[in-house]
Structure 1
Amino acid sequence: MQTQSSSKAQAAPALWLDNISCTFISKDDRSQRYTAVADTTLAIAPGEFVSVVGPTGCGKSTLLNVGAGLLTPSTGNVRVFGEPLEGVNRRAGYMFQSEALMPWRSALQNVIAGLQFRGMEDGAARQLGEEWLARVGLQGFGDRYPHQMSGGMRKRVALAQTLILDPDIILMDEPFSALDIQTRQLMENEVLELWSAKKKAVLFITHDLDEAIAMSDRVVVLSAGPATHPIGEFIIDLPRPRDVAEIRAHPRFVELHSQIWGVLRDEVLKGYQQQKKLA
């Protein structure tokens, strides 16, 4: 028989940002304040793939940093599987926009760094690392150093580095934005294949609306900053499994793109005008 507490734990979002606001105060003049995020609530269910899109500089990465526990919100609460988040979110893996690879370590050594920091025996860590390099298509490349690898290969190493720790939540901050379109689509399909195997909760930040629709279960649209907040939420009811290139030709994809762009377009224009003023 299931207890009330266990039932509640199962029903809890993997990540819940509850009425979050983030205001930054100038160190030189404390009267100068900038509110990047205001009154934002966002919940990611276990196993759900959610993308967040919005104009440049609207605060997407701020939300990701709050979810990672790297930034404490000015107001609001963060819960991880129903528990208040205190400090760094140790149930989350974070894949940054730029690779966080250590140049003095080989691909294998980078992949297993987190396991070693956790105290795993070196032989077991190396065996698991080799398995993950094979999963991301880099079998036999474990002795390469970051400067010896292409951008796509470094992204694969970073992906293995994140997923080898088996996080319950995966946070991804525009991880493929610097790649060429062909490599990018290969990496997107790679992520979807790995995600479908274990169905972790994913919060994916991207500027690319096509990418968001092709990969996600749900797309959240943020307003232009300052004080960004969600202004639209769309269920992506496209069939899975998906190939990110082929799914773009699906009639429902075209329909969803039109609907979401209809909400996002004005915010992108607002964001563009604000960037011009700052420049």
Structure 2
Amino acid sequence: MTPALALDSITCTFVSKEDRTQRYTAVADTTLHIAPGEFVSVVGPTGCGKSTLLNVGAGLLAPSSGSIKVFGEPLEGINRRAGYMFQAEALMPWRSALQNVIAGLQFRGIDAASARRQGEEWLARVGLQGFGDRYPHQLSGGMRKRVALAQTLILDPDIMLMDEPFSALDVQTRQLMENEVLDLWSAKKKAVLFITHDLDEAIAMSDRVVVLSAGPQTHPIGEFHIDLPRPRDVAEIRMHPRFVELHAQIWNVLREEVLKGYQQQKTKA
């Protein structure tokens, strides 16, 4: 099967901000394939280059070397078949929830009546029916994330790129949003590349978990098939015996890299 997203031998080297004569390699010779309909999470220490890989897949960052293909076609420029859900909120404060959700449709030239109808349908899907006239400052953090999710999914992307989208939420709201994403994903079965620092979240949501080494020159050091039954409730699945086994296996690989990353952060501080 042709991968929905194929990152092959990706290396990303940058000029140092502190010394323009110095260069450092954030990502080194990394290959990662996401199949159509597959939910893949990438975990690794803070600052290891997880978001760098996501930006490469989105076409927001050109790698120093390597290739990117989207459904078998070389990626040139922005990945038009992907939707990107950022860690930071990207809602426009001067637009209502509905206006934020339909912004992408409007930019594509969809007529106003159709855009509004689709926007209202998506607000209902994410549990925000009746909140379309609220502005971002009038919504809770969880509600804003639901608006952002609808804003991304309304464009019906073939690939979902998600960069720690729920990290700022409280535990209860986070679990609600995780289940919301899984419900929507199971209905559409899009390819998902999900970046997270939370191993529990990665295991609970994914078909496959990829572990990255500490940076610089991060690269995959482990890959785990998550053979837990679906559909899943992210809170309940954590009590499954197989979840505990998988967590122990992955943490055995991840632990040393997290300690390395922690020491690097201390050194920088």
Taking a change above 3 Å as real, the CA distance of residues 259 and 28 of structure 1, as seen in their structure-2 partners, is closer
Pair 1:181-2:171 in alignment: yes
Q: Distance in 1 between matches of 2:230 and 2:39?
A: 12
Count matched residues.
269
Q: Distance in 1 between matches of 2:78 and 2:186?
A: 26
Q: Distance in 1 between matches of 2:17 and 2:160?
A: 32
Point out where structure 1 has 5 or more consecutive residues left out of the alignment: 1-10
Q: 1:157 aligns with which of 147, 157, 161?
A: 147
Q: Distance in 2 between matches of 1:29 and 1:226?
A: 16
Pair 1:266-2:256 in alignment: yes
AA at the equivalent of 2:151: Q
- Match of 2:249, SS state, is helix
Number of the residue aligned with 1:219 = 209
- Match of 1:155, SS state, is helix
- Match of 2:99, SS state, is helix
Q: Distance in 2 between matches of 1:26 and 1:258?
A: 37
Pair 1:12-2:7 in alignment: no
**1:172-202 deviation line (CA, Å, top 9, x unaligned):** 0000000000000000000000000010000
Number of the residue aligned with 1:197 = 187
Point out where structure 2 has 5 or more consecutive residues left out of the alignment: none
Pair 1:86-2:88 in alignment: no
Alpha-carbon RMSD: 0.8
Segments of 4+ in structure 1 off by > 6 A? none
- Using the size of structure 2 for normalisation, the TM-score is 0.99
- Match of 1:24, SS state, is strand
**1:13-38 deviation line (CA, Å, top 9, x unaligned):** 00000000000014775421011000
Number of the residue aligned with 1:252 = 242
AA at the equivalent of 1:95: M
- Match of 1:79, SS state, is strand
Q: Distance in 1 between matches of 2:122 and 2:101?
A: 8
AA at the equivalent of 2:21: S
- Using the size of structure 1 for normalisation, the TM-score is 0.95
Percent identical among aligned pairs is 87
**1:138-160 deviation line (CA, Å, top 9, x unaligned):** 00000000000000000000000
Q: 1:69 aligns with which of 34, 59, 64?
A: 59
